[in-house]
């Protein structure tokens, strides 16, 4: 806060330092955004645009034909639906399991709590790559290979999210819960009416990151899903590469289509995402 005031005083008028900083930032922005700009440009280039001449940004023969081609060649909406199913299961599973387990660990007293928390931390130390194949064997034994349930199942509960909820429940003032007890609220009422509404922020955070996680997940669906009858969006998109589609304009259009929903989601929930990450409470 103090820093902000210093900066305001300092930057109320234009100084050479400020100009240099803005120029540097714009240069960095162009550098970081260049791949995306190039993609947008490619996506709108038509057949009269020379793909092999010197690169230029503004299409000579602008067209939306590439987008139509993407939708014709790939069942994108079907892929999106599949991804949304996995994402919905993931969000629901993580919020529900996090609420129950977090509440119990934070506010109820029982023997073996230390052991439970220890197990949670232990499981967080295990890298996903180490257990990748063993998880796959479980899914295979459950006959859930090539099934969206199989994609979602291992991620429905996460130690990290349970601990996040535990922290959130811990932060509720005890007086509030005691007052409810005095008024005769039973445990379920205390949980559902008093405590759960207090952790809405954590719910939003866990929901948002579960969504982004399942939207972008690649390695696990790649292992579970064996043919394109259940492909999620990332897997469907990965087919754009290589021999399936050789025209870079169509590939570009495909990536733009895949990016738009998650970009909108990001812009809408940006404040939550930034605050959540800044709180240092969310793993990648």
Partner 1 sequence: MAKTKTKKRGGDAAAQGVDPRSSGRIVPWLFVLPPILWICTFSLIPFFNTIRLSFTDSTLLKPGKFVGLENYVNMFTDRRFQTAFFNSSLYVVCIVPFMVILPLMLAALVAEKTRIMNFFRTAFYTPVIMSSVVVGLLWTNILDKDGLLNGTFKALKWISTPIPFLTDRWLLLFSAMAVTIWSGLGYYMLIYLANIANIDGTLYEAASIDGCGGIRQFFHVTLPGCRVTMILVMLLSSMSAFRVFGEIYMLSGGSGGVGGADLTMTMLIKQEGTGINARTGYSGALGMVMFVVLGCIIGIEWIVQRRSED
Binding to partner 1 (CB under 8 A): which residues in 244-283?
248, 251-252, 254-255, 258-259, 262-263, 266-267, 270, 274, 277-280
- For the chain, give the number of residues: 284
Contact, 139 vs 150, CB < 8 A? yes
d(CA 95, CA 63): 44
Any contact of residue 171 with partner 1 (CB under 8 A)? Answer: no
Site for partner 1 in 16-35 (CB under 8 A): 17, 21-22, 24-25, 28-29, 32-35
Of 61 and 178, which has the nearer Cβ to partner 1? 178
Does position 234 interact with partner 1 (CB under 8 A)? The reply is: yes
Burial of 5 (0-12, 13-18, 19+ CB in 10 A): exposed
Candidates 13, 14, 58, 134: give the one binding partner 1 (CB under 8 A): 134
CB of 63 to partner 1, least distance (A): 17
Minimum CB separation of residue 110 from partner 1 in Å reads 4
Instruction: Tell whether residue 114 is a contact of partner 1 (CB under 8 A).
Output: no
Per-residue contact flags (x/-) with partner 1 for residues 49 to 68, judged by CB under 8 A: --xxxxx-------------
Q: Is 146 in the site for partner 1 (CB under 8 A)?
A: no
* Residue 5 structure tokens: 């005031």
- Residues 258, 241: contact at Cβ < 8 Å? no
User: Which range, of 45-53, 60-68, 73-81, 84-92, touches partner 1 by CB under 8 A?
Assistant: 45-53
Q: Write down the least CB distance from residue 100 to partner 1, Å.
A: 4
130 lies in the site for partner 1, by CB under 8 A = yes
User: Looking only at residues 80 through 99 of this chain, which bind partner 1 when binding is defined by CB under 8 A?
Assistant: 97-98
- Considering only 137, 171, 176, 268, the residue that binds partner 1 (CB under 8 A) is 137
Binding partner 1 (rule: CB under 8 A), the pick from 80, 144, 156, 194 is 156
Residue 188: count of CB within 10 angstroms of its CB = 8
Asked if 39 contacts 256 with a C-beta cutoff of 8 angstroms, the reply is: yes
Sign of CA dihedral 22, 36, 256, 79: negative
- Using CA atoms in the order 69, 74, 76, 78, what is the torsion angle rounded to 10 degrees? 140
Q: Is 200 exposed, middle or buried (0-12, 13-18, 19+ CB in 10 A)?
A: exposed
SS3 139: helix
Size of interface with partner 1, in residues (CB under 8 A): 104
Binding mask 173-212 for partner 1 (x = CB under 8 A): --------x--xxxxx-----------------------x
Could you say whether residue 100 binds partner 1 (CB under 8 A)?
yes
The DSSP line for 245-264 is ---HHHHHHHHHHHHHHHHH
């Amino acid at each position: 806060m103090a820093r902000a005031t210093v900066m305001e005083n300092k930057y109320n008028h234009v100084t050479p330092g400020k100009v240099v900083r803005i120029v540097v930032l714009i240069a960095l922005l162009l550098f970081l955004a260049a791949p995306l700009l190039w993609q947008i440009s490619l996506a709108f280039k038509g057949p009269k645009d020379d793909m092999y001449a010197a690169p230029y940004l503004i299409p000579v023969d602008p067209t939306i034909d590439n987008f139509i081609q993407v939708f014709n060649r790939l069942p994108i909406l079907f892929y999106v639906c599949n991804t949304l199913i996995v994402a919905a299961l993931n969000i629901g599973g993580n919020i529900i399991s996090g609420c129950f387990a977090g509440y119990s660990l934070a506010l109820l007293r029982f023997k073996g709590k230390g052991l439970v928390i220890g197990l949670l931390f232990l499981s967080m130390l295990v890298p996903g790559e180490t257990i990748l194949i063993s998880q796959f064997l479980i899914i295979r034994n459950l006959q859930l290979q090539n099934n969206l349930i199989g994609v979602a199942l291992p991620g429905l509960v996460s130690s990290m999210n349970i601990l996040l909820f535990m922290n959130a429940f811990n932060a509720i003032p005890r007086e509030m819960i005691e007052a409810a007890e005095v008024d005769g609220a039973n445990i379920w009422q205390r949980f559902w009416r008093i405590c759960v509404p207090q952790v809405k922020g954590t719910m939003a955070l866990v929901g948002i990151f579960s969504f982004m996680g399942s939207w972008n997940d690649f390695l696990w669906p790649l292992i579970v899903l064996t043919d394109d009858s259940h492909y999620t969006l990332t897997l469907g998109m990965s087919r754009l590469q290589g021999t399936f589609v050789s025209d870079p304009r169509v590939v570009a259009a495909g990536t733009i289509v895949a990016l738009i929903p998650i970009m909108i989601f990001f812009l809408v929930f940006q404040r939550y995402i930034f605050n959540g990450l800044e709180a240092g409470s969310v793993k990648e």
